[in-house]
């Protein structure tokens, strides 16, 4: 079976992979909500959440370096929160001048920045764990079984499928460009492998990519309609959730609830 390089799913015989997709989706959403609701600066709660997530990552039998490398996706969220370091009032830790402006780094701003960084990092990791251990069709089916709107699930599914089409068309255009930019051994013909030449063809490639992807998606949609597509992709139904899966769900929700309660208590005691 061909697996596209964009597909993050990695087949393993691990307890995480064997878990029901509905259970994993609910636990992932609960983990993200717990992380978001945890007060700023609740470092003990962050450590517990990281320990819980690290245990699940180890059980998935996927190398930890895979999660840590892809968790860099959280960096834009941290950069967006960088102004908090200088705008939140509080105890001044450092002060310096930049041009005609005086910037102050406060302890509260530093705490807020690091808290947002940790929360973003943990949330991105649990999303990576969900996608790497669950096939995307199972995720779509889990969304429908949890009563998410059919139109929303259909949009997710079509966006995911057309992403592969877009990438395939882009790869074809890049191969065509490489075939037309070869160098002659005796330098009889001018080479097209210059930066100026590549800059000239970039706009043309972008327009051609849009037209080719649009035409191909239209053909695919007409083929889907001819096969009875009515807005929802029907898959084989999920089997009933077993007692073991229910127990895993309750234990996971219980742990997350205790961590959230602990973080609130620690905030009140400070």
Tens of each residue's pLDDT in the chain, 270 residues = 344 556 678 888 888 988 888 899 999 999 999 999 998 888 889 999 999 999 999 999 888 888 888 888 777 777 777 777 777 777 777 777 766 677 777 778 888 888 888 998 999 999 999 989 988 888 888 888 888 888 888 888 878 877 777 777 777 777 777 776 655 555 555 555 566 666 677 777 777 777 877 787 788 888 888 888 776 666 667 778 888 889 989 999 999 999 999 888 887 877
Q: What is the pLDDT of residue 256?
A: 93
pTM: 0.78
For the four alpha carbons of 145, 149, 150 and 155, in that order, the dihedral sign comes to negative
Q: What is the pLDDT of residue 3?
A: 45
Q: What is the pLDDT of residue 209?
A: 76
With beta carbons less than 8 A apart as the criterion, state whether 57 and 125 touch. yes
Closest listed residue to residue 49, CA positions, set 38, 61, 62, 60: 38
């Amino acid at each position: 079976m061909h697996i596209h390089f964009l597909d993050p799913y990695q087949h393993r015989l691990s307890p995480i992979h064997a878990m029901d997709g509905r259970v994993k989706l609910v636990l992932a959403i609960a983990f993200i909500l717990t992380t978001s609701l945890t007060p700023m600066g609740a470092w003990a709660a962050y450590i517990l959440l990281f320990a819980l997530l690290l245990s699940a990552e180890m059980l998935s039998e996927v190398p930890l370096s895979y999660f840590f490398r892809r968790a860099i996706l959280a960096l834009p969220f941290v950069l967006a929160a960088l102004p908090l370091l200088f705008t939140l009032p509080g105890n001044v830790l450092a002060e310096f001048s930049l041009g005609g402006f005086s910037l102050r780094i406060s302890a509260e701003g530093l705490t807020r920045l690091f808290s947002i960084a940790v929360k973003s990092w943990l949330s991105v990791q649990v999303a990576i764990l969900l996608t790497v251990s669950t096939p995307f069709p199972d995720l779509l089916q889990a969304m429908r079984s949890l009563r998410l709107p059919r139109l929303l699930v259909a949009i997710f599914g079509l966006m995911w499928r057309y992403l592969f089409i877009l990438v395939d068309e882009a790869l074809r255009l890049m191969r065509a460009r490489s075939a037309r930019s070869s160098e002659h051994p005796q330098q009889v013909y001018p080479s097209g492998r210059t930066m100026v030449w590549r800059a000239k063809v970039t706009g043309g490639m972008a327009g051609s990519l849009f037209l080719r992807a649009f035409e191909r998606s239209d053909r695919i949609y007409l083929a889907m309609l001819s096969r009875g597509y009515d807005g929802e992709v029907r898959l084989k139904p999920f089997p009933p959730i077993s007692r073991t899966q229910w127990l895993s769900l309750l234990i996971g929700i219980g742990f997350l609830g205790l961590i959230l309660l602990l973080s609130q208590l620690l905030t009140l005691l400070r």
